Every structure is written in structure tokens, then in C-alpha cells.
Structure 1
Amino acid sequence: MTAERSRLTLESRVPDGPQTFEFRTTDGVHSPDEFREGELALLEALWGRKLGTVLCLQANYGVVGTVLARSPTDVLMTETSVRASRLCRENAERNDADAAVSLVESPAGMDASFDTCCYAPHEYTPIDVGKQRLVDGLSTLDPGGRCYLAGRESGGVNRYERCLNRHCPTVETIFERGEFHVVVGTAPESFDRSRYVEYRTVRTTVGGIELTLATAPGLFSPTALDDGTRHLLETATVRDGQRVLDLCCGYGPVGAYAARAADVEVVLADDDVRATACANRTLDRTGATGTVVPSDGIRQIDGTFDHVLCNPPTHAGSGVLSELFGGVRDVLERDGTLSVVHHRKLDLDHQLRRVGEIVERFEGENHTVVSVSP
């Protein structure tokens, strides 16, 4: 099952190339119905410049990297989302663009350097997370390399620009497109990478089991275990010998709890590699054993499971939920159970029936846990 949503076309300026670029999108990525203005501003500012090797930060579904790769330059697109990185690869291939794609928690850890990096932060990105991505990109540049940033004032671009001014000897505005403008900073001879994002530790107890959770800004409920997940853990039972999947695991509280509550084999999966990195740390700090898998829904998950537990990303769109629960049906044992928590104001029954029969509900103050059998 696929959550394909839109086909977007962009007029080409590539000599001897296609008249248009075509991009496929899905729910679960930023701006699936139309091109992002910040990315278009980046393209306008960068087209025709000598860029050398290019790093595209948080490439989304690959617009900037795909177009630039059709000019004489080498391009690497990075993403923290498994889904977005897959779309980047597919869209680059669809447009015959020779661009590489890397799924990374941070580009700062890569063994590579670049002449140019470019970034158009999404306006929902927490400012400190965006700043960290910006300086991580700067850290990959050779001295004198150029870092291009696109945004608008209401999206916090002024704060990003001040971040560039702190780290670069020169910063200037080179392009304006409506409310959006593009600034460029020059990489210094030596670079001290600032830390804007720090990992946090949250300690909590559920059902007598102590959990030590590793979280980070920008993840779901980073400062405390959320009430919905707590309700899920207090109502869904795991039993010795089961194979358990914590789907959409975030920083891993459900999987860590299951591994401590019973003698089970646990797999934790999430689309965001920042989340899965935290989930690994959560398992380690809680003293729990499990396997963490970065996965777009169930695409990268092997085998079948006796119990699937999920606090789904209801904000991501109906296409994501349809694909997610359609996938659960394929990995759930015939006598298995899916336990899903959602806010009481939501009705996910039509989605959950993709898996099977709704057999039980556990109502909490603000959340409901629904049990489903195939």
C-alpha cells in the first residue's frame, strides 16, 4: 500500500534537459501539495553559480538537490526521515539526476567535506533544532565554503541569520523572493561547532517499572512521558515469549517498558533517525534489550509479531495512517493483537478496521486504547 499524494512539476532551466522536473510526494513530508517557497528561493539564488560539491540539508522530497544535480555539480542530500530520504532517491532517479542521498542524524558525523551547503528550514522546526542543523552543515564546509539559508522573518530566519553571523566572517543577503530572502555565510578558516541541542534524560515509573528515557528537542513529548503513552502501557499487556513491535516508537518508552515487563523479543521502529538514536539510548539506560530499526511505516521491518503497540502520528495525515495500519495487517500474527492509543476526540475506527476487528476499548481521561485482532 502506498500513501502517494501528489505529482508536482517544476519548469526546467537545464540546457539539453527535460522541459519540466516531476516530483512525487506523500503525506508525512513537508508541503506535499505544493512546492515550498523557501526551496524555490534557494533554487533561484543558486542557479548559475559555481557551487562545487553541494550538501542539501533536510532535503525533504528532493527538490533543490534534484535540480542542482542536473547542473555540473556533485550533490548530497541529507535527511532525518526515512520516508523523505526514500522520496529523495526516487525523485532524483525519476528526473535522471545524479544525486546521492544519506539518512543521518547529523551531517557533522559524516566523513566528507563540501564547497556549498544549503538549507531552507521548515517553519515548524524548533529554532534550536534548526540552528543545530545549520552549524552542523557549516562544520562540513571547507574554509571559504558558502552556506546558503532561505526563509522569511515570520519563520525565524532572522534568528538563523544571527546564528550565521556568530560563526561566519561574512554574511550577506543575496536574493529576495516575496517574503523570502536568501542569505549566505562564508565558512571560517577554523570552526568551533556550537551546541544548540542537548539530549535530555527523563526518569519515570510505569506499573512499578522504572524507565530512563533519552529525549531531545523536536521529538514528540521531549520533556515528559506523555499521558497517551502512559495509558497505553498501563492497559496493554505483553506476555513472555511474544515478539513485540513498538511502532512509531519515538524515543522508545513503549519498547523499553515491554522489554522490562516480560521476557519478550522487542523491535522498535520510527521514521525519524533522531528518534531511533534516542530509542537506542533509552534501551541502554533502562537496561532493556531490543532492536531499533529506522523505518518508513513497516517497510524496513522483517518478520511477524504477536503484539504491535502504537501511539500513531495522527497529525501526519490520513495517507500515512492508512499505509501504517495497512502494513500492520501484513506483519501481525493471525492470533496477534494491535494496541493503539489515540485522543478521545479522534475516531480512528475506520483506519483500525484495515487491520481487523476491534475487540476492546480502554477509556482514560483524555485517551483511548483500542485493541484489534486480525
Structure 2
Amino acid sequence: MILTPQSQLLERNINIFEQGEWLFINPSDAYFLDALKHKNVTVMHQYFDIFSECVRVISSSSFDSRDITKEGFEVVQKVGAHTHHFTPFMCNEHTHTDVLIFLPKAKSHFQMLLRMAAGMVGQNGRIHVVGENKGGIKSAAKLMQPYGVTHKVDSARHCSLITTIVEQPHLAFEPEAWLETDTYEIGNTSWPVCSLPGVFSHGELDKGTKLLLEKHTSGMSGNVLDFACGAGVIASYLMLTYPHLKMQLSDISALAIYASAMTLAANGQSATLHAANGLYGIEGNVQHIVTNPPFHTGLKTDYTITKRFIEDARKMLSQNGTLQMVANRFLPYPGLLSEHFPRVLTTAQTTQFSLYQAA
């Protein structure tokens, strides 16, 4: 059991959780909550890895994109006195006295979570934020100021815990106010893409993804998986280009699953969506995997995600199947790919990105 620095700081202040109706948003590990086994708490997870660790029974969750409406989706699991929700957002109004947010990486994501929290606690409710000093906790205090005066509760382990009492009344969170739709263009194809703060490359076409779409090996057929799908950019483009494809999309993020469903709907498309930690729990074989995979865990470069993905991708691909992957040129992926695939080609390159095909 390894507690993150944020959780270690919270353990120092465990008494603050004794009073009130608490909601935790995006805990950084699955173990801090063990110290609160006796207390009824609600936990909102936008990331499937920690949700899965907390509930210990769900390896992945799959959805038909047509079943995800603008109102969102959720997977709920009760563990003792704790109720865990895997969901992109919660639109409850005045249901809690206290909300604790684990600081996300993106400023706009944090602003969205603050607005969500304000609706749930209402006037005179409390919003608390814990985060690493190098992760922007100091600037987070400034972003909290529109809701009320902030003060620091404690600092330790290079982290800080800050809190504010909400001064004004707030209505329930409205996801449509935060959902952004942009039109992307590749060659003669233009198509709408929907996104929310916290989704990879929110509001813009990532340069690596653009290279993949422009230079991917054509002639795909059969079952295709868009791994780490983000807003569904790759899948929606491929389905426009090759309408006969049977697409699947996967991501660890509930925000990405939701955004992808909205993107597919905006293009008159449908597909199977998997919420999963890597490829774990996704069953069946596919002919092709296309991906612009993550190489960060929080603030750190993390190759273990991609190492495990490459190994699992080889097992998931059918005979003569291909993996097409774009990545930053500085990442050591040709060697990692060669450990599991007999043939690895660099099919396109820019000063920043490389596109690989492995078979």
C-alpha cells in the first residue's frame, strides 16, 4: 500500500473529515479512503484506474455510444460505507457540505470541477483542494477566489491543502455549458469534434494525431480499436474515411468516454466505448489498433503505460494485424515495439513526432 504525497498530507489532517457530508473528487490513490472506512462518503472518479482499484471487482466497463446522452453516464459501486461513481460529472445540487478536489493537471479542468463542487455544496458549503506544489496548488488558490476567501490548512510532503467557504448560491453543474465543439480538417475531410476540459488536446487538433491521420497506412478493414481515444478524433475520422469499419474506442478517462460519444453522435456514428486501464479487461481480437498513446502519469513521463500497452496490443491483434502509433520522437518506442513485433517501420516523421507501424 503506497499513499501518494497528497494522501499522506490528508492523513495528517484526518480529523477534518469527521464532520459533514463529504464528496471526494479524483482521489490520487485507492488507499487513503481506508482511513475513513467508518464514515459514509461519496467518491467521484473521472479515471478508471483508481475507480477499479477502489471497488476491486470491475476490470473494465463497456458502453454503446448511442446509450450515452448529453446528461452523461455513471458506473456506481458501493464498498462498505463508501459509494464510488465512475462518471464524467455530477449535477447534484446542495447534496454535500464539503467537497475535496484532488488538483488536476489542466487549469480549465480544475475550473470545471470547482463549478461542479460549488453546485453540490451551495452557499456556505466548503470546497477543499489538495495538490502538489509543483502541480500548481499555489495558482489554484487564485482560481478559487471567485467562490470565497481561501486559506491554507496545512503543507507537507511538498503538497498543500487549501479551503474556501462558498459565499454565493450556485445552481447545479450544467455540462453543456462546458462542452466545446470544434471543426477539424484533414485534406478534404472536415468533421465536428466535441470535448470537455480535462480531455487530451481539448479544443485543438493535436499535431501528433494530425500526422497519424494524414499518413496512416490506408486500407483498414474489420475491427479497429482507437486506444486512448481522447475526444474520439481518430475514430470519427477513420469511420468517415472507411465507413465499413467496426470501431471500438478505449480510454481511462470518463471525460474522454463522454466526449467521444458526443463526437460520434455529432457525426452520425456509433461505436463501442471501453472504460479501462490500458487494454486490461477488453476482450476479443481486432485487426488494427491506432493510437496516440499517453506517456504521462500526472506530471511525470511514464513509459510503463506504453510498455504494457505494446505487450498487450500484440496479444490483442489478430493474425496479420497492425499497430499504428504516433509518439514524440524523443520517446524510445522503436526498441520497445521491436521487443514484441517482428516488423517495425517508421512510416512518417516530423521534427517532433514519429509514426510507427508494427506487425
Name the TM tier (shorter chain): 0.7 to 0.9
- Tell me, what secondary structure is at the counterpart of 1:368? strand
CA shift for structure 1 position 306: 0.8
Partner of 2:91: 109
Give the letter for the 1:368 counterpart: S
Q: Could you list the runs of 5+ residues in structure 1 that have no partner in the other structure?
A: 1-21, 24-33
Instruction: Quickly say closer, same or farther: Cα 1:81–1:153, change in 2 above 3 A.
Output: closer
Distance across 2 between alignment mates of 1:177 and 1:359: 46
2:82 to 99, 119, 126: 99
**In the TM superposition, what are the counterparts of 1:75-224 in structure 2 within 5 Å?**
75-90=41-56, 98-106=81-89, 108-109=90-91, 113-122=95-104, 125-141=105-121, 144-151=124-131, 155-168=135-148, 172-177=151-156, 180-186=159-165, 190-192=169-171, 198-224=178-204
Instruction: State the shift of 1:190 in Å.
Output: 3.8
1:44 aligns to what? 12
**Cα distance change on mapping 1:66 and 1:345 into 2, 3 Å:** same
Contact map agreement 1:312 1:321 (CA 8 A) in 2: yes
Indicate whether 1:67 and 2:35 are aligned: yes
Q: 1:172 to 1:355 in 2, by over 3 A?
A: same
Pairing 1:261-300 to 2, within 5 Å after superposition: 261-262=241-242, 263-300=244-281
- Mean CA deviation greater in 265-274 or 359-368: 359-368
If you compute each CA radius of gyration, which structure gives the higher value, 1 or 2?
1
TM-score if structure 2 supplies the norm length?
Answer: 0.79
SS of residue matched to 1:288 = coil
Q: Which amino acid aligns with 2:110?
A: G
Change (3 A) 1:45 1:347: closer
Q: Which structure is higher in RCO with an 8 Å CA cutoff and minimum separation 6?
A: 2
Q: 1:140 to 1:230 in 2, by over 3 A?
A: same
Q: Is the CA contact (8 Å cut-off) linking 1:65 and 1:75 kept in structure 2?
A: no
Deviations for 1:304-331, whole angstroms, at most 9, x for unmatched residues?
1111111111334121112111221222
Contact kept, 8 Å, 2:94 with 2:119, in 1: the verdict is no
Deviation at 1:113, TM superposition (A): 2.4
Shift of 1:246: 0.6
Quick one: structure 1 residues 85 and 354, their matched pair in 2 at CA, closer, same or farther if it must change by over 3 Å?
farther
Letter in 1 for 2:88: E
The one-letter amino acid paired with 1:185 is: T
Partner of 2:111, secondary structure, is helix
Identical counterparts, % of pairs: 18
Q: SS in structure 2 opposite 1:136?
A: helix
Matched, 1:343 2:302: no
For the 8 Å contact 1:51–1:73, the answer to whether it is kept is no
Q: Deviations for 1:81-128, whole angstroms, at most 9, x for unmatched residues?
A: 11122233349xxxx97533221212x335892333222315xx2223
Which string of whole-angstrom CA distances, capped at 9 and with x for unpartnered residues, describes residues 328-353 of structure 1?
12221112111111223333123223
- C-alpha displacement at 1:238, in angstroms? 4.9
Worse overlay, 354-363 or 140-149: 140-149
Count of residue correspondences: 331
Shift of 1:178: 7.5
Cα RMSD of the aligned pairs, angstroms, is 3.2
- Contact kept, 8 Å, 2:179 with 2:194, in 1: the verdict is yes
Decide whether the 8 Å contact of 1:363 with 1:369 is kept in 2. Answer: yes
Q: 1:88 to 1:49 in 2, by over 3 A?
A: closer
The residue identity in structure 1 corresponding to 2:237 is Y
* CA 64–145 in structure 1, closer or farther in 2 if over 3 Å, else same: farther
Determine if the alignment matches structure 1 residue 307 to structure 2 residue 292: no
- Residue 264 of structure 1 deviates from its aligned partner by 0.8
The DSSP-based 3-state class of the residue aligned with 1:357 is coil
Determine which of 4, 18, 24 is the counterpart of 1:56.
24
2:215 aligns with one of 235, 238, 241: 235
Q: 1:215 to 1:146 in 2, by over 3 A?
A: closer
Q: Which runs of 5+ in 2 are unaligned?
A: 58-78
